Amino acid sequence: MTATAEPLFQGADWDFLTLQRIHDACEGIARSELGLDVYPNQIEVITAEQMLDAYSSVGMPLFYKHWSFGKHFAFHEASYRKGLMGLAYEIVINSSPCISYLMEENTATMQALVIAHAAFGHNHFFKNNYLFKQWTDANGILDYLEFAKTYVAQCEERQGRLAVEQTLDAAHALMSHGIDRYPGKKKLDLGAEEKRAGRRRLHEEAAFNDLWRTVPTGPAKSDAMLNVERRRKLLGLPQENLLYFLEKTAPRLQPWQRELLRIVRHIAQYFYPQSQTKVMNEGTATYVHYRIMKRLHEQGRISDGNFLEFLQSHTNVVFQPDFDDPRFSGFNPYALGFAMMQDIERIVSNPDDEDREWFPEIAGNGDVMGILRGIWANYRDESFIGQYLSPRLMRHFRMFHLHDDPEERAGVKVDAIHDERGYRRVRRELAKQYDVGFIDANIEVVDVDLAGDRRLMLRHAVVKGAQLNEADARRVLQHLADLWSYDVSLVEVDAADKVLKEYVANPRAIAAVA
Amino acid sequence: MIMHIIDRRLNPGSKSLENRQRFLRRAKALVRGAVKKSSQDRDIKDVLEGGEVSIPLDGMNEPRFRREGGTRDMVLPGNKKFVEGDILPRSGEKSGGKPRDPGEGDSEDAFRFVLSRDEFVDLFLDDLELPDLAKRKLAEAESEGVQRAGYATSGSPANISISRTASRALARRVALRRPRLAAIEKLESELAECNEARRAELIAELEALKAKARRIPYIDPIDIRYRRFETVPKPVAQAVMFCLMDVSGSMSEHMKDLAKRFYMLLYVFLKRRYRHVEIVFIRHTDRAEEVDEETFFHGPASGGTLVSSALQAMHDIVRSRFRPADWNIYAAQASDGDNSISDGEVAGRLLTDMILPVSQFFAYLEVGEAGGYTFDMPDSALWTLYERLRAGGAPLSMRKVSERSEIFPVFHDLFHRRGKQEKTAP
């Protein structure tokens, strides 16, 4: 490619026309070369203070009022002022149009980087990844937030600030357990139901065999058993979405409290895909900005000097410190994601024997963008790493797996390293680190004592001996009991059904409960 | 595809101000404690500057179900020398340990954040109150203000409330069914192009409407309303603060420093309550003079001690410049307690007859040498004198101070919000 085009900008200064030019140039490459499919873009230029504002309300442009956001703001502000923390260059919101916030103090090069990264990389990922498609409604989210904000404000007017605050506190405490992890069964309409019944009947007729009649059934179920089963079915138990369960069945909540729980639950659900796709999302965006910026430079639309500036911040972003480095705090999702995307590009276009053995489906396929777009659409972090982390990359990062068993007095065992014997184990363990099934405690509502004191019974299935932090668990259960307004108990049981610990919480008199 | 660029920089800032206020309100007790604590080791000059405080997280935490302990597996980058099966000792430096995320759980036992100047001072003076905030003889105050007091049926033309008048007129016109101009115009235009038979009928109808419109005027004198104003006595919103200090040889730098701190606090406090605060510095040895701040605290002076000279000076200044009806008068006197015996009678009379009747508040601060315990400071000449006056019913506040750290508690004690009884404890 020869340098034919005019540079998009000179030096570090930019104005809105520059942003427009950058956006159009990026769009051309994103569409024609990378084949990205994005929501319309909306770019908003903001100040550092507004960025801090956005931080404290989880990046959302409008949010209901609550003291905890004030606390986060105060915390971020303090660390920002002390220089402990830099601010992000951008925040991008999964909505349609896709809103990207750009900091005003970015240089022109940084704005180009950020536009390529957020307005095309993240944007494409939001629009195409199956998790986002399944769980979020990009068109509706801003309206929903607006509704939530007004609703909470109205509630405060009618019910008093304190009552609303108590309910929201309780709901926030349960937020991580207010998520549906599986899409619900679709209700069939009458026509479909009839068709299915007809098909079943046909099948029964076709496969009729009188012998089945003589097969003995198990012992008849006692009335008590049937009762329990009926009750559990009625309440939809077991239920792991605690907020949903409370919203639908808590006996003494006011309608507005149920609505508040619903709002918190919906917002938690909205962020659920993001927490499962950090590596992929950042990897995609970083890969896209890298490709776009490189192409712009090749076309001569970004000068060499500006390109060097880009490379410098790009390198900072994808820097992965070693485990013994003081800067280390886990895997950098940008570094891991970007490395994996580049590795896939290499495997698809220029594989070696090892790649052919490990990735027979994609090695040497040739269609880099086709393969990548397919991966971006159909995977989340856990499955992505579990399938596409190559031995070469494990060697590159020099990954190793530690197994820390408190029973083992001698110390922490190195279970696997980046060698032939260890590749699969390392990869499996790393994938597990990104599995939401393992990240959140597995707590579910198992029963309600409907005949007795209406006690709500929860069960925490302890995995690998990791029990709940006692102080926090008591506080959360207190909130739960306040909402349920009768006693709540939680048992922690291990895989062998042995009870490890039991908590009971009694409801406090909450201002809002009539 | 269309792309929009929106400049949000000009949007009103402090979007999270409301959240911040909620947070402060919730943490009020904690923050107030932290403010008191942090103000103790600050210079009084900086007290007003706001700044960082740290509060314990307790009560402000947002609990979540968190797991801990158990068997942990982790994959880390950067292996240098480990091979499979190695056992790494756990003690001391956790070579493989994953550092905790900042801000996670209880690892953070204190929470630091920055308060703005106003927030800081508000909390700092939160539970303090000025005694006799309103002027005692308010009736004598000549300053009066006007305020809106509804509407009246009479008044000067300049005060006609047009909107009120118009709306009343409209209501009357609607109630009496005054024909509308549009209706008359419609009839007229119809009249212009109609046949003879209809014409007479139309003319009669038109005449009737016009007559009715004349009978029911557009605006009637009974519609007219005037804005009404009332005069109200305006509370005196200015204060003068007299700083009296003994600068004779017996006052050490330390003592002056104590006095200065007390004056500063009083100034900050008055400043919050009054729109306008003046300060008058009077220093005295055996004679008194009004000086500027610099000279007051640092200017050298020596001589004997006559408290009455300062009181006399204050009285003269009040008479010439600060009419008690217009000004709230506060006075704080700092001294080491020395006074010549013969002066006691004069000072006492000046105080009870001239000064206390016009003052809102008179505080006497007896400063002692560093390291001296306040409770065994012997009662000085001045202290004995004032004690006697107080026993006789004079509204005086007096405290003894010898350490810097005692200044705020003493100040707090003097102005602490308490029901009706005040100035009773020594």
pLDDT in tens, A445-467: 988 888 788 889 999 988 888 88
Of residues A481, A390, A490, A409, the one with CA closest to residue A442: A490
Structure tokens belonging to residue A242: 């605690």
Of residues A343, A342, A346, A290, the one with CA closest to residue A317: A290
Q: Which residues on B lie below 8 Å from A142 (Cβ)?
A: none
Among B64, B85, B99, the residue with its CB nearest the CB of A472 is B64
The arithmetic mean of pLDDT across residues A4-11, rounded, is 78
Among A50, A65, A97, the residue with its CB nearest the CB of B22 is A65
Among A38, A49, A468, the residue with its CB nearest the CB of B13 is A49
Q: What is the Cα–Cα distance from A475 to A461, expressed in whole angstroms?
A: 19
The arithmetic mean of pLDDT across residues A181-202, rounded, is 79
Q: What is the Cα–Cα distance from B328 to B91, expressed in whole angstroms?
A: 69
Verify whether the Cβ–Cβ distance B72 to A404 is below 8 Å.
yes
Verify whether the Cβ–Cβ distance A45 to B6 is below 8 Å.
yes
What distance in Å separates residue A1's CA from the closest CA in chain B? 26
Tokens 């925490």 identify what position?
Answer: A460
Tens-level pLDDT at each residue, chain B (426 residues): 678 888 888 777 667 778 888 888 877 777 777 776 666 655 555 556 666 677 766 567 788 888 887 888 888 898 888 888 888 887 544 444 444 333 333 334 566 777 777 777 777 766 666 655 444 444 344 566 788 888 998 888 888 999 999 999 999 999 998 988 888 888 888 888 887 778 888 888 889 988 998 899 898 888 999 999 888 766 666 778 888 888 877 777 788 878 877 887 777 777 777 767 788 888 888 888 888 877 877 777 777 778 888 888 888 888 888 887 778 888 888 888 777 777 878 888 888 888 888 887 788 888 887 665 555 566 777 888 888 888 877 777 888 888 777 777 777 777 776 544 443 333
Top pLDDT among A86 and B148 is at B148
Of residues A28, A66, A251, the one with CA closest to residue A149: A66
Cβ distance A389 to A430 under 8 Å?
A: yes
Number of CB atoms found within 10 A of residue A189's CB: 8
**How much is the pLDDT for B235?**
63
Q: What is the Cα–Cα distance from B67 to A203, expressed in whole angstroms?
A: 49
Number of CB atoms found within 10 A of residue A105's CB: 11
**How much is the pLDDT for A2?**
46
Instruction: Summarize pLDDT for A301-322 with one digit per residue, the tens.
Output: 899 999 999 999 899 888 998 8
Verify whether the Cβ–Cβ distance A468 to B2 is below 8 Å.
no
Burial A304-315 (b: 16+ CB within 10 A, else e): eebbebbeebbe
User: Which amino acid, B273?
Assistant: R
User: Which amino acid, A104?
Assistant: E
Strands (E), B153-218: none
Least confident of A55-59, A161-165, B417-421: B417-421
Tokens 């060698």 identify what position?
Answer: A419
Q: Cis bond leading into A255, ω under 30°?
A: no
Planar angle of CA B4, B5, B11, nearest 5 degrees? 125
The arithmetic mean of pLDDT across residues A469-482, rounded, is 89
Q: Which residues on A lie below 8 Å from B67 (Cβ)?
A: 441, 466-469
Q: What is the Cα–Cα distance from B253 to A414, expressed in whole angstroms?
A: 68
Of residues A320, A365, A316, A328, the one with CA closest to residue A345: A365
Handedness of CA A314, A316, A317, A318 (dihedral sign): positive
Helical H runs in B103-161?
117-124
* Domain B238-415 grouped into CATH 3.40.50.410: yes
Flag whether the ipTM exceeds 0.85.
no
Burial A48-76 (b: 16+ CB within 10 A, else e): ebbbbbbbbbebbbebbbbbbbbbbbbbb
Chain B residue with minimal CA distance to A74?
B113
N- to C-terminal Cα separation, chain B: 80
The arithmetic mean of pLDDT across residues A385-411, rounded, is 89
Say if residue A295's pLDDT is above 70: yes
Cβ distance A51 to A91 under 8 Å?
A: yes
Structure tokens belonging to residue B151: 């509407």
**How much is the pLDDT for A338?**
94
Q: In whole angstroms, what separates CA A17 from the centre of its chain?
A: 35
Question: DSSP letter at A2?
Answer: -
**Mind giving me the DSSP string for B228-274?**
EEEEEEPPP-EEEEEEEEE-STT--HHHHHHHHHHHHHHHHHHHHH-
What distance in Å separates residue A360's CA from the closest CA in chain B? 26
What distance in Å separates residue A39's CA from the closest CA in chain B? 9
The answer to whether residue A463 neighbours chain B at the CB level (below 8 Å) is: yes
Q: In whole angstroms, what separates CA A184 from the centre of its chain?
A: 18
Instruction: Kindly report the pTM of this predicted structure.
Output: 0.69
Sheet of A41-46, strands arranged across: A90-93, A98-103, A41-46, B3-7
Element (H, E) at A253: none
What distance in Å separates residue B144's CA from the closest CA in chain A? 38
**How much is the pLDDT for A87?**
67
Answer left, alpha or beta for residue A374, where phi above 0 means left and psi between -120 and 50 means alpha: alpha
**How much is the pLDDT for A491?**
92
Pairing of strands B51-56, B110-115: antiparallel
The arithmetic mean of pLDDT across residues A49-68, rounded, is 79
B331 phi/psi in degrees, rounded to 5: -140, 140
Among B19, B71, B113, the residue with its CB nearest the CB of A405 is B71
**How much is the pLDDT for B101?**
39
Half-sphere exposure of B366 (CA within 13 A, CB side): 25
**How much is the pLDDT for B38?**
67
Q: What is the Cα–Cα distance from A168 to A172, expressed in whole angstroms?
A: 6
Q: What is the Cα–Cα distance from A87 to A385, expressed in whole angstroms?
A: 29
Pairing of strands B361-367, B328-335: parallel
Top pLDDT among A409 and A113 is at A113
User: What proportion of chain A, given as a percentage, has pLDDT over 90?
Assistant: 31
User: Which amino acid, A392?
Assistant: R
Strands (E), A355-480: 400-404, 412-417, 442-448, 456-461, 467-468
Q: What is the Cα–Cα distance from A398 to A324, expressed in whole angstroms?
A: 13
Say if residue A290's pLDDT is above 90: yes
